[in-house]
Amino acid sequence: MQPIFKYCPNCKSSHLDFSQGIKIKCSDCHFEYYHNTAGAVAVIIQKGEEILLTVRNKEPQKGFLDLAGGFIDPDETAEQACVRELKEELSISVDESGLRYICSNPNTYLYKGILYNTIDLFFLYRDDDLLIHNFDSMELKGFVWKKLFDINLNEIAFESQKKVLSLLQKDLSSD
């Protein structure tokens, strides 16, 4: 594990042990911090034969294509996080009951020099009448609609999303 603290948050000692995987332990006061996996959601929005991809306007992976989504807040279900993130990023309201769970994939997310391990939960949301009029320009540079087989996986921001989109492409090509 990479050092994410220089000093113990409890006693301010610099005697920290980072050698135990996700656990950081202070040799002086025995404070322990577990840098656990963070939950995140990603929504594959389908309209007809096309998938919505957002264009990231922030690091990490600024300018790359992404699926709408984000981190799950405390006391929030994955489905509630999907609804909230779609409202925040794309100004759209979706019915939670229309979300269909696809799968999960582990991922990493480097943010301000700290590498977070995430578990990304993927959902499908289909709406042939969906219109997007606005988006959060701080988070997104824009968005594009693409057919699944026209998506270049090298343009996708995160490995977990590449895996899921690749899996969907393979599943559809074997039908």
One-character DSSP codes across 36-83: PPEEEEEEEEEETTEEEEEEE-SSSSTTSEE-EEEEPPTT--HHHHHH
User: Is 6 found in the same domain as 45?
Assistant: no
Residues 119-130 pLDDT 10s: 999 999 999 999
Residues 53-79 pLDDT 10s: 999 999 999 999 999 999 999 999 999
The pTM assigned to this predicted structure is: 0.90
User: Is 165 found in the same domain as 104?
Assistant: yes
User: Is 57 found in the same domain as 18?
Assistant: no
Residues 131-154 pLDDT 10s: 999 999 999 999 999 999 999 999
User: Is 43 found in the same domain as 32?
Assistant: no
Q: Which domain holds residue 159?
A: 38-173
User: Is 102 found in the same domain as 18?
Assistant: no
Give first-to-last CA distance, the chain, whole Å.
43
- Provide the domain count of the chain: 2
User: Is 118 found in the same domain as 67?
Assistant: yes
